[in-house]
Amino acid sequence: MSSSAPASPALVDLLAALAYGELSGFDHLADDARLAPTLAGRAAMSAMAAVEFGHFQRLSARLRELGVVAEDVMEPFVAALETYHDLTAPVTWLESVVKAYVGHGMAADFYREVAKLADPATRELIESVLVDAGRAEFAVSEVHAAVAAQPSAADRLALYARRLVGEAISQTQHVLADRDALTYLLVSGAGDLQGIAGLIDRITSRHEQRMKLLGLSQ
């Protein structure tokens, strides 16, 4: 089952962090779907959860090909991701919609940046599991309708989105502080501090595009 060459620790970390991200994404989306005011909304968010689980299975399969068990190598990422989810638990349906789009989008942008530094096959797999799957249209239509009905909702959602960004950054830093190989891949791949700054700029700018699309940019 294992490949001939041992997988690099950075590659295993990257796939394992992403795999646990998908498993916990599944879990929390399935949970948040219960906040939906309609069965249609609940089915739409449950569908996103099921898609994430499919991604988890593909990442697990790749890890198995590399000779490791997903459940073992995901362990180091459980605490950071669960802390992120705990500290950003949506309390309204709209918050869950914003999280599914903005939080997921931000994480996807980060993983895409790291994937650029991996081998072509890994990059292709990672890009394929980061598809948006209609989240943008869904989030935009739900948020626009809600804000049209109650303009004051926009401020609260913008504030919530800021919390998503803050907690995502904080937990990413925790993970990188612990995972030397992954950090080395990221830092050496980016080249220098200017490279890192460029990466952060790109992620920030895509985040701002999403907020603008939602009508929540300030």
Residues forming the site for a second copy (CB under 8 A): 23, 26-27, 30-31, 33-34, 38-40, 42-43, 46-47, 49-50, 53-54, 56-57, 60, 70-71, 74-75, 78
Q: What's the min distance (Å) between Cβ of 7 and a second copy?
A: 19
Nearer of residues 24 and 171 to a second copy, judged by Cβ: 24
Nearer of residues 25 and 105 to a second copy, judged by Cβ: 25
Nearer of residues 28 and 210 to a second copy, judged by Cβ: 28
Q: What's the min distance (Å) between Cβ of 14 and a second copy?
A: 18
Joined tokens for residue 105: 């989008």
Nearer of residues 65 and 71 to a second copy, judged by Cβ: 71
In degrees, to the nearest 5, what angle opens at C-alpha 77 toward C-alphas 73 and 78?
105
Nearer of residues 46 and 88 to a second copy, judged by Cβ: 46
Q: What's the min distance (Å) between Cβ of 43 and a second copy?
A: 6
Q: What's the min distance (Å) between Cβ of 44 and a second copy?
A: 10
Q: What's the min distance (Å) between Cβ of 89 and a second copy?
A: 14
